[in-house]
Structure 1
Amino acid sequence: MQSLEEMRKELDVIDDQITTLYERRMKVCEGVAEYKIKNGRKVFDKTRENEKLAAVAEKVSTDFNKKGIRELFEQLMSMSRKLQYQRLSEEGVLGRLPFIGLEQLDLDGARVVFQGVEGANNQAAMLKYFGKNVKNFHVPSFRDAMEAIEEGSADYAVLPIENSSAGPVTQVYDLLVEFENYIVGETVLPIKHMLAGVKGTTLSSIERVYSHPQGLMQTSHFLDEHGTWQQISVANTSMAAKKMMEDQDTTQAAVCNEYAAELYGLDILAREINDESDNSTRFIIVTNQKVFLKNASKISICFEIPHESGSLYHLLSHFIYNDLNMTKIESRPVEGKSWEYRFFVDFEGNLADAAVKNAIRGLREEALNLKILGNY
């Protein structure tokens, strides 16, 4: 029987052979890339790859080795594709992305829409990004805001996309897929929730608390301490405050910000009731134009992938091979397809960068579909 040291030496010899064959294989792949460039052929040929995987699996003896050799060749073919995409990029074959780079956004006379009523956090985010003199109006729902910019009654919309403690605003993610609107900016707003009610309201008199679902989630620890309070969702925290003013009912209260409480003449019953002391919400600025700032540094995309083992891994490897830093990934169910998901990814980069074009080319060819949501 061989000693451990002898077996390790034998493995080193085999690994040297594999390394030499790997470089030889990639050299041939360069030739494949040159051929495809000259003849306008697509890099990704799924039928060819499936045939290859089935063929190599037949050449090994055990089920364990069949799975292993398939995984090995999946990686080899994935690296081959990335080399080919790189050569396409070097030859300038990747083409232009359908977005126009701007030095700055056209804000002169722009009309901005936000969801909610006066006093909403959405309004505060709008004022922070656009300034106090911006022309603006508000609508009842996120969908209404998206429709307003799609039809042209507004130039920009301000929408919450995620909260640091409650997570993503899933409805906004879904609307970004549904509408041909694009992210061109973002702003982060610290969120400080208060409990407010009409004059005469006390903690002991409260029976019902109203707020946006995110507002209720972000203050759940405080609200759950008062287990008898019924928690009721409304479209916006400021709408909850406005309801208090309209109803003049001391058995109900609103979770809202201090500005909304003051605007609607409410007493603040408890201050800063957030579960997290550093609670903040990220808002996106959306328009119906395919534009991006030339100094933009973050890109958002979404894509669907085949419902197969390893699909997500292979797609995400395009960020690694192009030295792109992925900063966020979310998943949402695909409507009408049980247990299949659409992935939303944020990563650092600019649409004018060669590495970004290279990665997007690979993602677009290998995903079932891909949408660039914006560069900002």
Structure 2
Amino acid sequence: AAFFSQIMSLGRRLQYSLLGTRDCFGFQEVDKIRTDSHTKIAYYGEKGSYTEQAMQEYFNKEVTGISMGTFAEVMQAVKEGKAEYGVLPIENSSTGSLSDIYDLLAEYNNTIIGEHVVKVEHCLWGIPGARLSDITKVYSHRQGLLQCSDFLKQYPKIRPVEGGSTAGCAKRILEEGDITQAAIASRIAGEYYGLQLLQESIHKEANNATRFIIISNLKMYQKGADSTSICFELPHKTGSLYHMLSHLIYNNINMTRIESRPVPDKAFEYRFFIDLEGCINQPVIQNALYSIKEEAMNMKILGCFLPVR
């Protein structure tokens, strides 16, 4: 069966090459993502969050940002057309991937149309007049606490508490006005909410950075896009992943990322998320995707975009 599928794959590859096919699975090429001051962008977190910073840098600030309290709310706003685009964090250089985002990409039919990387500098903030010696509790997003865990270990009397976004935690301590409370957030957030800087650069990794994805409810990709993201499920059989990845080898496609997540309500079955080097309009990419679609379960194209390298 494996040999037969390889022959079919090679046959399709030759056919696509000769015919110059451009079956892009319903995706349309655009010259660029067009925006103006009225374009609505949903982003995770309060004003001053790293996600808002990513939005402003990617879209050059000429847009209308809409703050959302959860990752799912961003996805839902884009799905319903309440926002043309959305911005979500997906990976941090020191703590790895955000599994919640991968699950949402599988659940919703929004597509990735771009990505952006933000350098992350976590600072410890208190309310005006606070000192580091006053602090007994610190709030931040789970990722913020993880990225600053080495710093927090130096202060055993400070209890870390998981909150919403980093900027949301900065806003919280200002509103509550408790001198014993602090927040881990960006310099932008701390200054925006008028907080007292207690300690700067408290993250573990000197080159700490977060990768964000730009999503849309339209199937489109920018001219020059050369990264394609897919996901699929596999039967619980020996060698099934190896066989699926062999379609990339036969088509000489480089895989730049692979993640796995458990499939809900299916014990010990997994959904794989893969980034491929190449555009969805290339015959070799199309050939590999058709081969995977024929043999995997619930194969889905998550997007085609210009990666940050």
Give the TM-score category using the shorter length.
over 0.9
Q: 1:94 to 1:81 in 2, by over 3 A?
A: farther
> 28, 34, 39: which one pairs with 1:106?
34
Aligned to 1:167: 96
Whichever structure has more helix as a proportion of its residues is 1
Matches within 5 A, 1:217-236: 217-236=146-165
Q: Which runs of 5+ in 2 are unaligned?
A: none
Aligned: 1:83 with 2:10: yes
Aligned to 1:325: 254
Counterpart AA for 1:160: P
Matches within 5 A, 1:199-238: 199-238=128-167
Q: Decide whether the 8 Å contact of 2:95 with 2:143 is kept in 1.
A: yes
Alpha-carbon distance between aligned partners in 1 of 2:229 and 2:303, rounded to the nearest angstrom? 5
Alpha-carbon distance between aligned partners in 1 of 2:170 and 2:107, rounded to the nearest angstrom? 31
Q: Decide whether the 8 Å contact of 1:324 with 1:348 is kept in 2.
A: yes
Q: Decide whether the 8 Å contact of 1:184 with 1:293 is kept in 2.
A: yes
Deviation at residue 106 of structure 1 after TM alignment = 2.2
Counterpart AA for 2:110: N
Aligned to 1:370: 299
Larger radius of gyration: 1
Deviation at residue 344 of structure 1 after TM alignment = 0.6
Give the TM-score taking structure 1 as reference length.
Answer: 0.78
Deviation at residue 226 of structure 1 after TM alignment = 1.4
Alpha-carbon distance between aligned partners in 2 of 1:279 and 1:320, rounded to the nearest angstrom? 33
Q: Decide whether the 8 Å contact of 1:94 with 1:361 is kept in 2.
A: no
Q: Decide whether the 8 Å contact of 1:244 with 1:252 is kept in 2.
A: yes
Alpha-carbon distance between aligned partners in 2 of 1:247 and 1:133, rounded to the nearest angstrom? 33
> 179, 189, 207: which one pairs with 1:278?
207
Counterpart AA for 1:100: Q
Q: 1:95 to 1:296 in 2, by over 3 A?
A: closer
Over residues 69-105 of structure 1, what are the superposed CA-to-partner deviations in whole Å (9 max), with x where a residue is unaligned?
xxxxx4x345323323324424648844210111111
What's the secondary structure of 2:134's corresponding residue?
coil
Over residues 121-157 of structure 1, what are the superposed CA-to-partner deviations in whole Å (9 max), with x where a residue is unaligned?
0100000001123112111111111111111111000
Matches within 5 A, 1:1-376: 49=1, 74=2, 76-90=3-17, 92=19, 95-108=23-36, 109-376=38-305
Whichever structure has more strand as a proportion of its residues is 2
Q: Decide whether the 8 Å contact of 1:182 with 1:289 is kept in 2.
A: yes
Count of residue correspondences: 303
Deviation at residue 341 of structure 1 after TM alignment = 0.8
Over residues 338-368 of structure 1, what are the superposed CA-to-partner deviations in whole Å (9 max), with x where a residue is unaligned?
1111011111111111111111111111111
Over residues 240-289 of structure 1, what are the superposed CA-to-partner deviations in whole Å (9 max), with x where a residue is unaligned?
10011111111111000011111111111111011100000001110100
Deviation at residue 372 of structure 1 after TM alignment = 0.5
Alpha-carbon distance between aligned partners in 2 of 1:265 and 1:304, rounded to the nearest angstrom? 48
What's the secondary structure of 2:178's corresponding residue?
coil
Residue identity (%): 43
Give the TM-score taking structure 2 as reference length.
Answer: 0.94
Over residues 220-254 of structure 1, what are the superposed CA-to-partner deviations in whole Å (9 max), with x where a residue is unaligned?
11112212221111110001100111111111110
Deviation at residue 172 of structure 1 after TM alignment = 1.1
Q: 1:246 to 1:351 in 2, by over 3 A?
A: same
Alpha-carbon distance between aligned partners in 2 of 1:94 and 1:260, rounded to the nearest angstrom? 46
Deviation at residue 325 of structure 1 after TM alignment = 1.1
Alpha-carbon distance between aligned partners in 2 of 1:94 and 1:250, rounded to the nearest angstrom? 62
Counterpart AA for 1:195: L
Alpha-carbon distance between aligned partners in 1 of 2:4 and 2:152, rounded to the nearest angstrom? 54
Deviation at residue 370 of structure 1 after TM alignment = 0.6
More deviation, 81-90/260-269:
81-90
Q: Decide whether the 8 Å contact of 1:88 with 1:94 is kept in 2.
A: no
Deviation at residue 110 of structure 1 after TM alignment = 1.7
Q: 1:372 to 1:277 in 2, by over 3 A?
A: same
